[in-house]
Amino acid sequence: MRSRNWLSGIVLGAGMVFAASAASAVTIGFSQVGDEGDWRPAFSKDMQDEAKKEGIDLKFADAQGKEENQLKAVRAFIAQRVDAIIIAPVVVTGWDQVLKEAKAANIPVFLADRDVDVADKSLYVTRISADFNLEGRLAGAWLAAASKGRCNIVELQGTTGSAPAIERKKGFESVIALFPDMKIVKSQSGDFTTDGGKKVMEAFIKATDGLKGICASFAHNDNMQLGAIQAMKEAGLHPGKDVLMVSVDYVPAMVTELKAGDANASVELRSAIGKYIYPVVLEYLKGKKDWPKWVKIPSDVHTAADVK
C-alpha cells in the first residue's frame, strides 16, 4: 500500500511537471506566404524544426500566396491570444489595420523574410531577413564583370508588389546604371514560380526572335530561372553559354544547373531563418524590448566555378 502511494506520488508529480511545462510553452502564430518555389518550403520546414527544438508551440498558417489569407490568419492568431506573431508578408501594402489590431491586443509582431510598407514602424518589433536590395546589387555586379559592362538583359520579376521583387530590381538597376552599355530590354513578372518563369521566357524568346542580341537573363529567384532554362532548351538555345544566367536563392536544383553549366551565378538567400528569429522573439518576451528595426541575415554569391 505504501509503495502504491509512493508510485502514484511520482506519477502525479510527473503529470504536474508536464502540465506546467505544456502550459508555459510559448505559442507563436506564423503566417507564411505559401510554397511557390523550392526556397519557401525549405524555409517553412526550418521554422517548424527550429520551433520544435526551442519547445515553441508553433501555429503555422500557409496563405497560398494570398494576402487576404494572411490577414485572416493574423486575426485568428489574435483571437487565440498567441504570445507573438511572425509574418512573412506576400506583398508590402495593406498591413496597417491588422497590425494595429495586434498592437491593441498587446501581441508583438515580427517580420520574417519579406517587408511591409507601413507608416508607423512601431506596429512591428523588428524584421529578420536578408537584404534584397544587396542581392540585386550582387547579381548586377556579377553580371557587369562577366559581360564587361556590355549587356542587353531580360528580367524575370518576382511577385508584383512583394519586397524581394521591388528591392532586387532596384538594387540590380542601381548597379547596371553605372554601365552605359548595360540595359534591361524586357521585363515581366513570373510570380516566383517555375511555370511562371517558363511562360515569361517563352514570350521573351518569341518577342526577340530567339533571344537575338540578348546577353543575359536576370531572374528574381531560381525557380523562375529554372523555368527559363527549360524554355530556352526547348527552343534549341543554350542557357549558361549563349546567354548568361544569374538569379537569387541558390536552391539545390540551381546548384545542379550551375554544375551542368546551364546557369552561371546565383545569390544565396538562406532559408534557415528560425535560428535567427526565435531567439529574438523569445528574448523579447522575456523583456529585452530594444531591437534594431532590421536584423540582417548575410548574403553570398555562388558561381559555376565555385560549385565545381
Site of interaction with ligand AHR (CB under 6 A): 36-37, 39-40, 113-114, 164, 192, 221, 248-249, 269
| Of residues 39 and 211, the one with the C-beta less far from ligand AHR | 39
Here the cell at position 211 is 533571344
Given a contact cutoff of 8 angstroms between Cβ atoms, the answer to whether 227 and 250 are in contact is: no
Q: Is 139 exposed, middle or buried (0-12, 13-18, 19+ CB in 10 A)?
A: buried
| Of residues 147 and 194, the one with the C-beta less far from ligand AHR | 194
Question: Which are the contacts of 159, defined by CB distance < 8 A and separation ≥ 6?
Answer: 36, 65, 90, 91, 165, 189, 191, 192
Shortest distance, position 195 Cβ to ligand AHR, whole Å:
13
| Of residues 30 and 192, the one with the C-beta less far from ligand AHR | 192
| Of residues 102 and 269, the one with the C-beta less far from ligand AHR | 269
Shortest distance, position 219 Cβ to ligand AHR, whole Å:
10
Task: State whether residue 265 is helix, strand or coil.
Answer: strand
Shortest distance, position 90 Cβ to ligand AHR, whole Å:
9
Q: Cell 559581360 belongs to which residue?
A: 147
| Of residues 255 and 285, the one with the C-beta less far from ligand AHR | 255
Shortest distance, position 79 Cβ to ligand AHR, whole Å:
27
Nearest Cα residue to 57 out of 30, 97, 79: 30
Shortest distance, position 88 Cβ to ligand AHR, whole Å:
7
User: Which helix (H) or strand (E) segment is 31 a member of?
Assistant: strand 27-32
